[in-house]
Amino acid sequence: MTDALLPSAFSELEPYAATWCLPTEGERYAKRLSSSMDEMQTFYDAFFPRGEEAIAHCEKFPLADMPEDAERLLQLLYSLVMVSFPVEAWRQPNVPDSGAAYLDLLIEPRP
Amino acid sequence: MKPIEKPAEGSWTAHYPDLGTEPVSYEDSISPEWHELEREAIFKRSWLNVGRVEQLPRKGSYFTKELAVANTSVVIARDLDGEVRAFYNICRHRGNKLVWTDFPKEESNGNARAFTCKYHGWKYDLDGACTFVQQESEFFDFDKADYSLVPVHCDVWSGFIFVNLADEPSQTLTDFLGPMITAMEGYPFDQQTERFFYRATVHSNWKLFMDAFQEFYHAPVLHAKQSPVASLPEVQAAGFEALHYEIDGPHRMVTTTVGQGWRMPPEMLKPTESLTRSGLFGPWDAPDLGADPLPGINPGQVRNWGLDSFQIWPNFVILIWERGWYLTYHYWPTSHNTHVFEGNLYFVPPKDARERLAQEMAAVTFKEYALQDGNTLEATQIMLESRVVTTFPLNDQEILCRHLHKVAADWVADYTRERAEVSG
């Protein structure tokens, strides 16, 4: 597994890493809108039970100097937050009645 | 639960008798002619917040601000003495926009010792003085000392940078802000520097979006599906009552309680709220901001204080949450029925990934709510413009909407009267 994207303890989540490890909110929001509910539910169901372990892994490192695999795991957690609204609240990818409304995030913390 | 105590007059609105209680006209939100008056009477005469000092971290730091409402652009810079200065963003030679990158209509920022015009290379230092003119000897009767950048009145309060486009502002910034706002002097805004900055074009008059965020009467209805607790029948039936309203000159504020996720049973929360210990009201684990009590906050001295939303005239909002973070909103008109909305979320910089994720959860949740609010406004604007109905009843929980539209009318009336006196 030389090309693993995530820390080895989270290897079963590798299938989601290429899709959901996205560094910006804009990319994560676009991915959410272009995903089906089935895709997001599958990702959510696979990752949510390990969410607390993932947070515990990431918080061991200084934010400004995270190993790449841990930073990708944190990005995966951001994506879990992103899909939580479709999965837990809306039952659809977009915010109900939001139509063509948009709200671009122009400045955000990194990572 | 003890009912919320209203003022002795029987209502918040009656406590401020100038507001009246009659239905309110929204002609001020649909008339192009009225909008033209607001541009002159309000936006070219008020102190306008254009940013914070953290955007100018070093000597030579600068940013530009597009002010479409006044048909202009300003450049704000920290000079070599550390002073914040503002200038109209126009070269004195032939009127080119002085500071921009790639796209002339987009805002720009950076660090410089001098501003150089892209057209003919004239240079200006950070104090606005013209320091270099290409082939100066070709000009006639020319002294470049006569060609400094045109200054804009600029002042800073609590780290918030304001400009005023009037030739001579009628009030200093401190007098303009008044006692209710300046009481927050010393609030630790400067500790909350982790920033999420959002922007959107909204298809409504700027005052309609201000109205949406200065009453919470809509919250149990429009946002009913956001969380299990919001959809409870008793929550729906109870509706919403704010704990305190206060008006000071053209400015206004409201205090409410908020949900306390950390005290709720998990079935009343979204699972991701429990996982991240965060939600709409911010990360549950608040940072230590040092000062206690926080200056200027909770002016009504209510128990169960959850948030203060200060609506600073004309288009600037500071919303302070009990969990130790704050938001700002700006509403920049671009026509009578469009505006640019800007939202900033400010947190104490997270010390680890757990805190960072809690802030991400708060930011994502903020956007879900704002998208619902934004689209509803377009629906309101469209039907107001039909003029099928022209006046609208505002209840006591909508007192701040009533006040905003009255202040706008008062400023336009003052401007119109002054102009008539001048042309007399």
B208 within 8 A of B377, measured Cβ to Cβ: yes
d(CA A6, CA A16): 10
Q: Is residue A52 part of a domain?
A: yes
- Verify whether the Cβ–Cβ distance A99 to B360 is below 8 Å: no
Cite the beta strand spans of B37-92 per DSSP E.
Answer: 47-52, 61-67, 72-78, 84-88
- DSSP summary character for residue A110: -
Q: What digits encode the pLDDT tens for the residues B352-366?
A: 999 999 999 999 999
**Interstrand relation of B130-132 and B307-312 (parallel, antiparallel or unpaired):** unpaired
3-state secondary structure of B107: coil
**B106 and chain A: CB distance < 8 Å anywhere?**
no
Q: Is A59 on the interface with B (CB under 8 A)?
A: yes
- How much is the CA Rg of chain A, to the nearest whole Å? 14
Q: Show residues of chain B in contact with A25, CB under 8 Å.
A: 363-364
Q: Residues of B with CB below 8 A from A58's CB?
A: 352-354, 357
Residue A101: pLDDT over 90:
no
What per-residue confidence (pLDDT) applies to A2? 60
Residues in chain B within 8 Å Cβ distance of A50: none
Question: Is the distance from CB of B321 to CB of B307 less than 8 angstroms?
Answer: yes
Distance CA B424, CA B422 (A): 5
What distance in Å separates the CA atoms of residue B309 and residue B297, rounded to the nearest whole number?
A: 10
Structural domain boundaries, residue A28: 13-90
Query: Best residue in A60, A95, A97, A104 to probe B by mutation, most B CBs within 10 Å?
Result: A95
A59 in any annotated domain: yes
CA atoms within 13 A on the CB side of B391: 5
* Residues of B in Cβ contact (< 8 Å) with A66: 353
Whole-number pLDDT of residue B226: 66
Share of chain B above pLDDT 90, in %: 85
Using alpha carbons, select from B41, B67, B39, B29 the residue that is nearest to residue B332: B67
Integer Cα distance of B187 and B178 in angstroms: 16
∠ CA B92-B40-B128, rounded to 5°: 25
- Which residues of A fall within a CB distance of 8 Å from B356? 63, 74, 109, 111
B196 Cβ under 8 Å from any chain A Cβ: yes
Do B378 and A101 make contact, defined as CB atoms within 8 angstroms? yes
* DSSP states of B331-343: EEEEETTEEEEEE
Q: Give the tens place of pLDDT for each residue, A26-54.
A: 999 999 999 999 999 999 999 999 999 99
- Dist CA B403 CA B423 (whole Å): 30
Give me the long-range contacts of B326-332 (CB less than 8 A, separation at least 24): B326/B189, B326/B192, B327/B366, B328/B49, B329/B213, B330/B49, B331/B206, B331/B207, B331/B209, B331/B210, B332/B67, B332/B68, B332/B69, B332/B206
Measured between beta carbons, which residues in chain A are less than 8 angstroms from residue B357? 55, 58, 74, 77-78, 81
Please answer whether residues B133 and B122 qualify as being in contact, where contact means their C-beta atoms are separated by less than 8 angstroms.
Answer: yes
Of B200, B356, B370, nearest to A63 by CB-CB distance is B356
> Which secondary-structure segment (H or E) carries B406?
helix B399-423
CB atoms within 10 A of CB B25: 13
Mutation choice for A interface testing from B285, B367, B372, B381 by most A CBs within 10 A: B367
Does residue A8 form part of some domain?
A: no
Q: Chain B contacts of A31, Cβ < 8 Å? A: none
How close B272 comes to chain A (CA, Å)? Answer: 7
pTM: 0.96
Number of domains in chain A: 1
Does A2 fall in a domain? no
At B262-292, the pLDDT tens digits run 888 888 899 999 999 999 999 999 999 987 7
Q: What are the C-alpha distances in Å from A94 to residues A19, A87, B96, B200, B245?
A: 19, 11, 43, 17, 34
The residue ranges of every structural domain in chain B are 12-41+183-423, 46-169
Q: Which residue in A55, A85, A102 is closest to B368 by CB distance?
A: A85
Which parts of chain B have pLDDT scores under 50? none
Are A103 and B371 inside 8 Å of each other by CB?
yes
B364–A82 C-beta distance less than 8 A? yes
B370 CA to chain A: closest CA distance, Å?
8
Look up residue B232 and give its two tokens. 């409870």
Asked whether this complex has an ipTM greater than 0.90, the answer is yes
- Please judge whether B371 and A104 are an interchain contact, meaning their C-beta atoms are less than 8 angstroms apart: no
Work out whether the CA dihedral B132, B134, B137, B140 comes out positive or negative.
Answer: negative
Q: Cβ of A109 and B227 within 8 Å?
A: no
Q: How far is A62 from chain B (nearest CA, A)?
A: 6
- Minimal-distance CA residue of chain B relative to A99: B375
Across the interface, do A74 and B356 touch by the CB < 8 Å criterion?
yes
Distance from CA of B206 to the nearest CA of A (A): 15
Q: Is A65 on the interface with B (CB under 8 A)?
A: no
Instruction: Determine the topology of domain B12-41+183-423 in CATH.
Output: Naphthalene 1,2-dioxygenase Alpha Subunit; Chain A, domain 1 (3.90.380)
Q: Does domain B46-169 have CATH number 2.102.10.10?
A: yes
Tokens of A92: 């659809």
State which H helix or E strand residue B379 sits in. helix B353-384
